[in-house]
Amino acid sequence: MELRRAACSDLLKLFEIHRAVFLPHIARTWGWDERWQRGNFLEEMATASTWVVQADNEVAGYLQIQNQAERIYLRNIALLPALQGRGVGTRLVGQLQVKAAERGMPIELSVFRINVAARRFYERLGFTRTQDGQTHIGMTWHSPEREQRGT
């Protein structure tokens, strides 16, 4: 598995992955509007650092983060179904946790309320529920060192 910065040439493939991963949750929550989704996806690409996950020289997923002053916001992580459950997501989030710990900042994210598998994934990696919204649940991870210091 390799990570590289996303390029404009990746947009179509990344949107296909977005659709494959998120369509079931979005369709159940609001209904899927292809045109709106494409526009929103482009906006997310413009406002987040997007990293392409490559496996066997093929685009297999992406990771989007926003580095902010007091936190890292994990906007999206999307992996093709063939890579799910194989430790790839755990490695990606683990690398992000190392960076966050080095910077002394939390990682925050929101997950679809109906996506129980994703919630369990993040809980297994040490994220705790911090907000309950109508459609999403906010989760936060703090480094164990920060928790031990009580800050």
**Dihedrals φ, ψ of 127, to 5°?**
-80, 145
Question: CA-CA distance, 74 to 114, in Å (whole number)?
Answer: 18
Q: Which pLDDT tens digit goes with each residue over 92-132?
A: 999 999 999 999 999 999 999 999 999 999 999 999 999 99
pLDDT tens, position by position, 6-44: 999 999 999 999 999 999 999 999 999 999 999 999 999
Total count of residues recorded for the chain: 151
CATH number, position 67: 3.40.630.30
Containing domain of residue 46, as a range? 2-149
Token duo for residue 24: 């079931």
- Percent helix, strand, coil in the chain, to 5, is 45, 30, 25
For residue 151, pLDDT beyond 70 = no
pLDDT at position 144 is 82
More confident call, 83 vs 120: 120
What is the pTM assigned to this prediction? Answer: 0.90
Q: Give residue 14's identity as a one-letter amino acid code.
A: L
| 71/85 Cα distance (integer angstroms) | 27
Alpha helices in 4-151 (DSSP H): 11-29, 34-47, 88-103, 116-124, 144-149
Total number of domains in the chain: 1
Alpha-carbon distance of 109 to 72, in angstroms, equals: 9
Residue 85 has pLDDT above 90, yes or no: no
